Structure formats: structure tokens, C-alpha cells
Amino acid sequence: MRKIIGASAVCALAIGLVAAPGAVAKKGPKQVSGTVSVFVSPNPVPSTATGVTASGNVKTNSSCRKDRTVRFQYVNSVTGAIEPLAVTAETRSNGNYSAVLPPAATPGTYALQATVDETERKVGSKKKGKKTKKGRQFICLQLFGQSSLVTFSGP
């Protein structure tokens, strides 16, 4: 009987040592994807226009919506030439953004592309005494969106 109890104890100890590293291992940050919508007004853009309003929304989880940088570029639908723009926008707490962009350099049909930069977020209580999930990390992945075709009229 002693041999059986001794063998059981050794077995239980061995199983505990094998299972413990998996239970103690820390999970990596969660990768969060999403979508970006892009709208342009006016469309078509008259030759007298000095600016084009771009607006849209970043749809993702709540920790990755606000304070994201949105970059813009025009893509010519015929030649595929890319015209990067210096204007950026920042998303609000609900993910909405808007920016006034300069018109395309040459008349034609373009699509406006919006790129939301990748960022890392850490969520958790910073107050003492709060028993919430501390130190949850999210990697908010880079997002891409494209508007429907926009026509820029010539002079």
C-alpha cells in the first residue's frame, strides 16, 4: 500500500511540473483588426474647388478607435499613379474622422485611399485598490480603406 501511495505522489508531482509552465505562461498582446470607411464630398469636384472633404469611420474594438492617425493618398484609376497627401486626420473616441484635402494635381478620376497607422495600446486600471484586468495589451493593426471613384474636373 505504501508503494502505491508513494508512486501516486511521484506521479502527481510529475504531472504538476509539466502542467505548471503552461498555466504560468503569459499571453502575448491581442492583435486587433478592423475596417475603415472613406467618403468624399463633393463628387464630382469642380475645377473651382479649393478643397475636398474626406470623412469616415474606423470600426474596431473600443480601445483601438480613438486617437489613431489617418493618412491619405489619391490613386489615379487609369494609370495607377499614387499622389500622397501631407494632410492627416486623427480619429475621435467613436472612430469618426474628417479632413479637408487639396484637390488632385491633375484632372481625372481618382480613388482616395485612407491608411490608419498601427499602434500599441495598454488598457487597465491605474488606481490603487481597483481589481480590474491590469495591463491588457492590444496591437491595433494597420488598416486600409478606399473611397468610390472621384472625378476632378479640369480648368
Mean pLDDT, consecutive 10-residue stretches, the chain (155 aa), reads 62 56 67 94 89 94 91 94 94 95 92 94 68 75 93 80
What cell numbers appear for 42 in the block?
Answer: 463633393
pLDDT at 123: 77
pLDDT at 146: 94
Closest CA to 89 of 40, 42, 56, 128: 56
pLDDT at 33: 93
pLDDT at 127: 63
Q: How far is CA 142 from the centre of its chain?
A: 5
- At the topology level of CATH, where does 28-152 sit? Immunoglobulin-like (2.60.40)
